[in-house]
Amino acid sequence: MKVKIGKRIKDYRTVWWDKEIVNMIDQTKLPGKFEIYKAENYRETADAIKNMVVRGAPAIGATAAFGMAQAALEFTGSDFEKLKLLMKNAEKIITETRPTAYDLFHAVNFVKKNIKNFDSVKEAKEKALIASQEYADKSAENCRKIGKSGEKLIKDNFNILTHCNAGALACVDYGTAIAPIRFAHYNKKKIHVFVDETRPRLQGAKLTAWELAQERIPHSIIADNAAGYFMQNGEIDIVIVGADRIAGNGDVANKIGTYEKAVLAKENGIPFYVAAPLTTFDMNCKSGKDIVIEERDMNEVLYIDKIRISPKNSKARNPGFDVTPARYIKGIITERGILKAGEVRGI
């Protein structure tokens, strides 16, 4: 993604490996500051996932893959069985950070699969690093293809609604829901993006808007509860969102508030699309009812930027995600093209 720092414009990935350190754009500091967070071991990498220094399903996946490589490289002995025990412990720590995003588990399993046939510690270490970089590179390429596939859905003069942040910051690069928007912009289409603020962490207002501003893509931030108003008044032509897990029947788990946008889109005759790589599909999960929904700290709702906005004795509920049934989804934009939600079992 393009990032303007002072007068310079530089391309960054959201997460990358450099000399056994996992580097991440610190998303907790945006849009006020652009800083790089450096995780020096797999526990620090796991903490970065848990504390949302890095977030978004594909970005979490790549970060988890690098974390597994760190764990392998941290092993100093020569006993392969002891290495396996370390890797199993690292897997537990990393996968317990965020339970909903499937890419996290897919990435960890990818690295495990690539080292399981070795009995040499040296070879396993080398392969773990190669596999993690391969996973990150493939993730970025898949998002590029999603952008190319989805761009054709966006016509000239379209107004697009998106929810949360499904841009490059949520991935290694390009984004999922934002990738088609980027390519439409690159192809000189006149577009305007309505950006849901996305309470309680405001990933839309803070992150999506920041990404769009970096590339001068026209956009307006709107309150989450304003989306229906703009739909009803004919100001939204298409809705594109990302996904954290897609069940075998096409149900989609995504940031809380996605379900209500899908229902509103259906009511107003507006096509609702999900953009996600195939690594987000969990074929072992039969339907959205089987998806574990992360419930986060109530203080995310009770406070904004450490300022309490609610009465002192009030409590809150804070589910991080909701499930949109497949019947509300026009199609799923993947690196293999656009699928109907009911066709995902055939992938």
Residues designated as active site: 244
Q: What angle do CA 294, 298, 303 make, to 5 degrees?
A: 130
Alpha-carbon distance of 141 to 139, in angstroms, equals 5
- Tokens 């309150």 correspond to 223
Query: 247 to each of 97, 120, 165, 281, 334, how far by Cα in Å?
Result: 20, 37, 21, 6, 15
Assigned token pair, 341: 């939600």
Pair 172, 202: CB distance under 8 Å: no
Alpha-carbon distance of 127 to 214, in angstroms, equals 36
Alpha-carbon distance of 321 to 275, in angstroms, equals 16
Nearest by Cα to 55 from 206, 187, 158: 206
Pair 125, 72: CB distance under 8 Å: yes
Pair 146, 100: CB distance under 8 Å: no
